[in-house]
Structure 1
């Protein structure tokens, strides 16, 4: 009985690990090859940072500070932006707008991608109150809906500029316990701020889709020195 053995040369573009195994003639089943390739892809992607948001021209981050307190690590930031005319017109109609802040703290690892040790999210809802002629700002760690305003912190302001100043000052975001942070002089932090149109009423979400006026977004990755709170 004749037995025919066929082989396919390993491509030069294949990963070095696969080429080495093929060169020594190790018997590999298809599922073994797939598993090895998957591990190689995972190892490669682990060190790839998340795609950065496209910063809008009217938004910027002017300050970021990482602070150490007895009960944890906190991030403070200052954001600058101008409220476009179209957004102001929606507020004047009594429709609330929403802002979202996301922050992540990492611990550096020389042998692998940095490990995320903590994160925090802050949701802010800004609305005009016609009866009182005041501006109300609701702040919560979870998405704010009309039914959930009771779980948020409330502040009232006499003018829109005062309310916006409070939104731009991102104070004391608790990111992690002190024990989660290493002794390095600086710590990797990722911060983002955006006007969130997904929490608008559905008709408004459709109406503002693709409008540049509603593209208020900024993101920064930085290594920040850990400062002790006095």
Structure 2
């Protein structure tokens, strides 16, 4: 009887430990954070700069190493406050970034283009760059430098505006078998969104930054 009780307690403790480990693993999904946000007003438009901090999940890195490219989407919308009706959107911009591993050269390639893939025939990249390591490629993706998101005339300085900025891994661009397998899985989640009042700052001198045309 005593042995049976000890066995039951042992099974209970083992099950509890396994549940705890699974919970820790689920909660360990890397968070995506938007920081160092700056919106500048210049003569040639409204420019957004930011740092998007995230770690590539192991399952995503494994897929990359198998030759499956990943697409990241940045979207920025500016709304003018209107107390009597829905806030109208006065400006909108999008950017698509393709990250791929090249097995023959063992290098990482980043293609950056304006707009969404669904809105054009493929990815018409305006910036292409190769990197020796994945961290170097990710660093290029994470830093948003003076991205033009609106024309200067789109924003009325006498009105109050709101900014919505988002960054996400676009799972809809994965091969269809992958889309079915990753649906709803937190391990594939790389996304962040920021909503705040638009605060325009004077443009700082551009020093060696690479800008993608709108």
Return the TM-score normalized by structure 1: 0.69
Aligned-residue offset at 1:202: 1.1
- Whole-angstrom CA distance in 2 between matches of 1:88 and 1:133: 14
Structure 1 residue aligned with 2:164: 190
Q: Does the aligned pair in 2 maintain the 1:129–1:136 contact within 8 Å?
A: yes
Aligned-residue offset at 1:156: 0.9
- Whole-angstrom CA distance in 2 between matches of 1:60 and 1:118: 23
Question: For 1:1-230, what aligned pairs fall within 5 Å after superposition?
Answer: 58-144=31-117, 148-184=122-158, 187-230=161-204
Aligned-residue offset at 1:186: 6.0
Q: Does the aligned pair in 2 maintain the 1:126–1:136 contact within 8 Å?
A: yes
- Whole-angstrom CA distance in 1 between matches of 2:156 and 2:112: 31
Structure 2 segments unaligned to the other structure (5+ residues) = 1-28, 205-214
Q: RMSD value over aligned CA atoms?
A: 2.1
Q: Does the aligned pair in 1 maintain the 2:113–2:124 contact within 8 Å?
A: no
- Whole-angstrom CA distance in 2 between matches of 1:180 and 1:224: 13
Cα-to-partner distance string for 1:206-230 (whole Å, 9 max, x where unaligned): 1222221111111111113211113
Cα-to-partner distance string for 1:136-194 (whole Å, 9 max, x where unaligned): 0111123449x835544211111100111111112223222212212248631001111
- Whole-angstrom CA distance in 1 between matches of 2:77 and 2:124: 27
Runs of 4+ aligned structure 1 residues displaced above 6 Å come to: none
Q: Does the aligned pair in 2 maintain the 1:185–1:225 contact within 8 Å?
A: no
Q: Does the aligned pair in 2 maintain the 1:106–1:188 contact within 8 Å?
A: yes
- Whole-angstrom CA distance in 1 between matches of 2:185 and 2:111: 25
Q: Does the aligned pair in 1 maintain the 2:94–2:116 contact within 8 Å?
A: no
- Whole-angstrom CA distance in 2 between matches of 1:217 and 1:148: 22
Q: Does the aligned pair in 2 maintain the 1:191–1:221 contact within 8 Å?
A: yes
Which secondary structure state, in structure 2, belongs to the residue aligned with residue 148 of structure 1? coil
- Whole-angstrom CA distance in 2 between matches of 1:142 and 1:180: 18
- Whole-angstrom CA distance in 2 between matches of 1:72 and 1:150: 22
- Whole-angstrom CA distance in 2 between matches of 1:192 and 1:74: 15
Cα-to-partner distance string for 1:5-27 (whole Å, 9 max, x where unaligned): xxxxxxxxxxxxxxxxxxxxxxx
Cα-to-partner distance string for 1:82-134 (whole Å, 9 max, x where unaligned): 11111111111111011111110122234333221101001111000111111
Please say which structure displays the higher CA radius of gyration: 1
- Whole-angstrom CA distance in 1 between matches of 2:130 and 2:74: 20
